[in-house]
Chain A
Amino acid sequence: MAETLFHKVWNAHAVRQLPSGQTQLFVGLHLVHEVTTPQAFDMLRQHGWTVAYPDRTFGTIDHIVPTSVQRRPFLDVMAEEMATSLERNCRDAGIPLWTPDHENQGIVHVIGPELGLTQPAMTIACGDSHTSTHGALGAIAFGIGTSQVRDVLASQCLALDPLKVRRIDINGRLNPGVFAKDVILTIIRRLGVQGGVGFAYEYGGSLIDAMTIDERMTICNMSIEGGARVGYVNPDAKTFEFLRGRPFAPQGAAFDRAVNWWKAMASDSGAAYDDRVTFDAAAIEPTVTWGINPGQSVAINEPLDGDANDEAFEFMGFRPGSRITGTKIDVAFIGSCTNGRLSDLEAAAAIVRGHRVAPHVKALVVPGSRAVSKAAEARGLNDVFTAAGFEWRGAGCSMCLGMNPDKLEGRQLCASSSNRNFKGRMGSPTGRTLLMSPAMVAAAAIAGEVVDVRTMLEGVPA
């Protein structure tokens, strides 16, 4: 019978049906970080439980790390306490942990794929909603809460209800100046921030087929912003080439065996889906959010649409009918698990090269991992950014979520390559976020206001 990857992976990892009717699902890879785990380790200790599979568990410290001065102890005593707590918990349980001074450190969703820990047809869990990112390699990856982190630590399992699968085809080619970020913002805008509740999103079609793994990660990363806890792309030759030679990927003959299994686990042609939606890639334009959830977005040259009484207009200080282009920004942020990989920095640098950041704009580039940072520096991207007036920072989550020193102040407006434009998301209760692609953030940083990046593409190699 023709089946989806989701169902094949689900069935391969199902331990049993629980009395509640939920499925006990084995988790192949558990990624832990400092924010959502200390209470889970405490609960384990209270019950006298131990970590069941420390060798299937890996840790990193990402949310709270400062990106300017990364020396220990951190200046913020609470951040230092969280870091030492994870270090102690991992040491006691025998869980490998990449501390902030380790060359493999980075945002959990950047380093998983980078190290080859993330593999097709694996179940992955992490106490972070952007765990859906790992689906770009054909994994079924769940963002979970702290009580579920406790469950996975203790049993390597989750109690879950099955999801329906929505196939989202994006066919055709993107026009110059249009990126993966614009694709996922457009999908969320059309299907809604709640449209994916109860679904796993399977992305496919000729555009996705043609995309790099980095681009697919940007798409899968924001599945949760559309309400879908899980998003994935079927593994293909690009996936296998991406993984070949990565430190934790299978090697030699084992790699060939793995590829055979990965291929067999991909969705069969003719698999039945609970829903299907199709998008035309050529119709997608550079897209920017204007409101307080990621579904409130417009194509760059469209007027803002909506009810003037909506709290989003009030909070953002915009008016229906106005346009987002020309809106003055205060801060430009390039980074995050959505768009903090090497290709994102390259796309931004291509716009920045030879220009200067507008004098009133504070501009930051924060690589998603130390490896991204090193690779970017080897290509001289750091010099491109710093010559233009960007700050070149150390790896971490940075401004995306306001849990470290990188924050907005007051009502500052930030052009951001991150994933959430919620009220207060970037650390200031009144701070405002406009989500867009890294190239659009770069363009906004230079212009000092929101601009259509397509007006700056002259001389930029395609």
Chain B
Amino acid sequence: MSASSSLAITRAGGRGMPLRGDDIDTDRIMPARFLKSVSFDGLERHVFEDDRAADPSHSFNDSRYSGAGVLVVNANFGCGSSREHAPQGLFRWGIKAIVGESFSEIFRGNATMIGLPCLTADRAQVQALQTLVEASPETVIDVDVPSGVITAGDLRFDATLPTAARDAFVSGQWNPTAMLLERFDEVRAVAARLPYIKSFSAHTASPPPRS
């Protein structure tokens, strides 16, 4: 693979931002009206826009956490819509890693593909980290991607990444397109074996509109 090592993500760190609550969905992270754009540029301005307006004490309004690099969340973070705009907005805001109890599958996959590791840990440890950051926002959280060890002040615990995601970050191959194109003859071979590609392809549909 070319240019992989320069993209390797082995450490992520910075001050933390606790964001308490289970089942925080992607509509809340990035309300749908901000998806009405042909680019991801500027999405950082709209992260949690409605939650922030409703709650002046929301973590993303709290100046103690400005410039944070590690978001600390609870269970099922990023559930709902598959909009990549949600992790894009967080990443562009400055979040470099998310530590939480659990994540929705699509959100975690989307985050991985833009180089934003989402690590899981036990509820008690995540809450202890949230409490620590709330008490001492200046605490620097260190995320060691290969081992999953999280260190913050006196806290030190193991967090987990899916093996494939961990390896992808460490090797720098978290953007898989080039890899998927690498042995394209094998892709064609699979397509050729699938009966529906050729054998069933006779249909009555009028020539599709290729506008």
Contact = CB atoms under 8 A, between A and B. Distances in A.
A370 B181 CA distance: 37
- Per CB-CB distance, the 4 closest pairs between chain A and chain B, nearest first, are A96-B208, A145-B110, A145-B84, A429-B50
Interface of B: 21, 23, 25, 27-28, 31-33, 35-40, 50-51, 53-54, 75-76, 79-85, 87, 102, 104-106, 109-110, 113-114, 162-165, 167-168, 171, 173, 175-177, 179-181, 183-184, 186-187, 190-191, 193-197, 199-206, 208-211
A424 B31 contact: yes
Among B80, B165, B175, the most chain A Cβ lie within 10 Å of the Cβ of B80
A378 to B, nearest CB: 21
Contact of A145 (B76, B82, B176): B82
Contact of B177 (A49, A311, A427): A49
A35 interface: yes
Nearest to A97: B211
A147 B80 contact: no
A94 B210 contact: yes
Contacts of A19: 167, 171, 173, 179
B210 A20 contact: no
A343 interface: no
Nearest to A81: B38
B25 to A, nearest CB: 5
A22 B164 contact: yes
A130 to B, nearest CB: 9
Given A148-B113, A151-B177, A35 B35 contact: yes
A402 B80 CA distance: 15
B83 A251 contact: no
Contacts of A24: 179-180, 187
23 contacts: A16-B183, A21-B167, A24-B179, A24-B187, A35-B36, A39-B84, A49-B181, A53-B191, A78-B37, A90-B211, A102-B209, A121-B196, A129-B81, A143-B82, A151-B180, A156-B191, A193-B76, A197-B105, A224-B106, A247-B203, A401-B32, A422-B27, A425-B27
Interface stretch (A253-261, A267-275, A282-290, A453-461): A253-261
Contact of A129 (B82, B191, B194, B197): B82
A161 interface: yes
Interface stretch (A7-15, A178-186, A201-209, A323-331): A7-15
Interface centre among B165, B176, B197, B201 (most CB of A within 10 A): B176
Nearest to B170: A20
A384 interface: no
Given A28-B197, A145-B109, A145-B113, A420 B102 contact: no
Interface in A20-60: 20-22, 24, 26, 28, 35-36, 38-39, 42, 47, 49, 52-53, 56, 58
B181 A15 contact: no
Given A155-B177, A251-B202, 5 more contacts: A24-B180, A76-B36, A157-B187, A197-B76, A422-B28
A18 B181 CA distance: 11
A81 B35 CA distance: 12
B188 to A, nearest CB: 9
B28 A250 contact: no
B69 to A, nearest CB: 21
B210 A96 contact: yes
Contacts of B163: 20-21
Contacts of B54: 429-430
A386 interface: no
A98 B206 CA distance: 12
B164 A252 contact: no
Interface in A148-187: 148, 150-151, 154-159, 161
Contacts of B206: 247
B32 to A, nearest CB: 5
Contacts of B25: 293, 420, 422-423
A140 to B, nearest CB: 13
A188 to B, nearest CB: 11
Given A12-B194, A35-B35, A254-B200, A423 B106 contact: no
Nearest to A246: B203
A430 B55 CA distance: 12
Contacts of A63: 35
Nearest to A43: B177
Nearest to A122: B196
B82 A38 contact: no
B92 to A, nearest CB: 13
Given A28-B197, A148-B113, A427 B205 contact: no
A227 B104 contact: yes
Contacts of A224: 80, 106
B196 A258 contact: yes
A53 B32 CA distance: 30
Contacts of B76: 193-194, 197, 227
Given A227-B104, A423-B50, A424-B31, A251 B203 contact: yes
Contact of A250 (B38, B84, B193, B203): B203
Given A148-B113, A248-B203, A197 B187 contact: no
A127 interface: yes
B33 A403 contact: yes
Contacts of B82: 36, 127-129, 143-145
Contacts of B200: 119, 250, 254-255, 257-258, 261
